[in-house]
Chain A
């Protein structure tokens, strides 16, 4: 069938600069650049270009420029180019549209409408380069009260001052900065990417999340910084998996596709992945949409406690859900079910593959979800029983500070971490042809990502964000992340509706205390 759709991008090749070195030909897994063997000239097929910019980045002479396709359809706000292209595609294939990464729809980003406070005159700001700043925090259930005693058997003053904790604290995850790497499974991303995330997490004193794809044997050495996931497919779940982990996360849903399962096509299930996931190689790895043993909060509680039993109550159990309309009540149920950590993924959360319609239309923004969950848990007096990790489209340290100020304990970053490693958000993760060597299992492409370089880039990112968070906190006159958490008085809404302000529970900009 002749396709009626038109290209997304144009590739301009400056022939003055092009030296016919074929780097672009070798770098494009989508075959947008090819060599004509007869004329020995490099040719370009713009229809195949996905706009990942790999060729333009690698071109040694800068001869390539990828830009938006300039031929436009008649302007129509209702039936725009994107809609038309999708219609043509569906008319030609008869299939569900697939996509990758988080939604690219032009939703209002509430972070950009929340403003932070700073100290002026009435309270002093702090210089983070000269004074200590505490970004360390602990994730896990906190007791309602703590009892301690003093050791009176030894009457030295030094010992008398030291209290001894009588309350047995539930297991905690210590993080040096309130940023963790989101769940990305081996299968969706390559093993080299998993390695980079693990190395960076170890170096930064934070955690990375295995996702639902099991834990590869090479990654067991990073177990101190690993959160393992138990999802509906139960891939790779075994006693060693729990033994290796610092915490276990039950994945109910993810922000990009709430209510939808996962499907790793058989061609991606290589020998290594089949061993890690504990499924036959070459078979599709199907994650059902629901956990077939969880149909209520009580069922969830059973799974939480069976995992706690399996880990001898030594490891915090997290439950990850997508931010949906009833998130506050759901989170309350999760906390009451016994979870130590609630991870909430907003609508802008990323994915390796999701139906476009689901990704772009289902869920709620994380900003509102954090605020409503935190408020609800506080109202019910159970906020201390679980930590909240927010996820879904955190773009910079400003977003992180705002999330923590709204009430999150830490944030998960996925897309930002991938971008740090080279991702250019072409949204073609589901094709398995990632030119940046990230979302692929093709041995030609996997090699493109050197985990040492990627880990260095991730470490730099986390360090940079941590410095910025300290800088922002210093400006606010706050010296510990714990004092920032839920401190919504230090936020102001700008250009937000009354209802949004009400849910966020923040004052509009200009209103004093």
Chain B
């Protein structure tokens, strides 16, 4: 399956991906309206890690052996049969946050919107274009089957 990969050597921590993610998952999908009217209720679905010049944006890795699915008590966290992605059904979620505890990447977040549920990258399920990948000005986020990184091979 296609996944979102990050290339930390090109991530400049501008956080445009975070903004695009927020907007893509907002009600209005309009950047100014989303920020001015819905803001406290918006949670980005990706996490930007930064330490000095090193930075990268990380979202759900859609692990093959996903600990969050195993940890979920209600079956809200499940594997989508069509896309093979790890999906989250907010209807079923009771907000026990075991998935957050078990996620090794720390990319499942608390959604404080209406009822306290978990939220995570849904690979922009409704849209064909991935908001964060599209927003990255430096191609530090790419959507691909697998990543070929010359520098990484060397290491």
Contacts and interface: CB of A to CB of B under 8 A. Distances in A.
B11 interface: yes
Interface string A1-45: 000000000000000110111110011000000000000000000
B11 A447 contact: yes
| Interface range, A side | 20 to 34
B104 interface: no
A450 B138 CA distance: 6
A61 interface: yes
B32 A19 contact: yes
B32 A26 contact: no
Contacts of B13: 26
Given A26-B15, A444-B12, A450 B139 contact: yes
A60 interface: yes
Contacts of B140: 450
A193 to B, nearest CB: 14
A27 to B, nearest CB: 6
B15 A23 contact: yes
B16 interface: yes
A443 interface: yes
Given A444-B53, A450-B139, A453-B139, A23 B16 contact: yes
A403 B91 CA distance: 70
Contacts of B135: 60
Given A19-B35, A61-B31, A453-B139, A447 B12 contact: yes
Interface string A143-179: 0000000000000000000000000000000000000
Interface residues of B, number: 21
A297 B150 CA distance: 47
Contacts of B16: 23, 58, 60
Contact of B15 (A22, A448, A453): A22
Contact of B32 (A58, A61, A450): A61
Nearest to A60: B19
Contacts of B53: 443-444, 447
B14 A450 contact: no
Contact of A27 (B9, B14, B19, B52): B14
Interface string A205-226: 0000000000000000000000
A126 B124 CA distance: 51
B139 A452 contact: yes
Contacts of B35: 19-21
Given A61-B32, A453-B138, A447 B10 contact: yes
A19 B30 CA distance: 12
B137 interface: yes
Contacts of A60: 16, 19-20, 31, 135
B12 A21 contact: no
B36 interface: yes
A26 to B, nearest CB: 6
Contact of B31 (A19, A22, A27): A19
A447 B151 CA distance: 14
Nearest to A27: B14
A450 B10 contact: yes
Interface in B1-24: 9-16, 19-20
Interface string A406-421: 0000000000000000
B142 to A, nearest CB: 10
17 contacts: A19-B31, A19-B32, A19-B35, A19-B36, A20-B35, A22-B15, A23-B14, A23-B19, A26-B13, A60-B16, A60-B19, A61-B32, A443-B52, A444-B12, A444-B53, A450-B10, A450-B139
| A-B CB proximity, top 4 nearest | A19-B35, A443-B53, A450-B10, A444-B53
Interface of B: 9-16, 19-20, 31-32, 35-36, 52-53, 135, 137-140
Given A26-B15, A443-B53, 5 more contacts: A16-B32, A26-B12, A60-B16, A443-B52, A448-B12
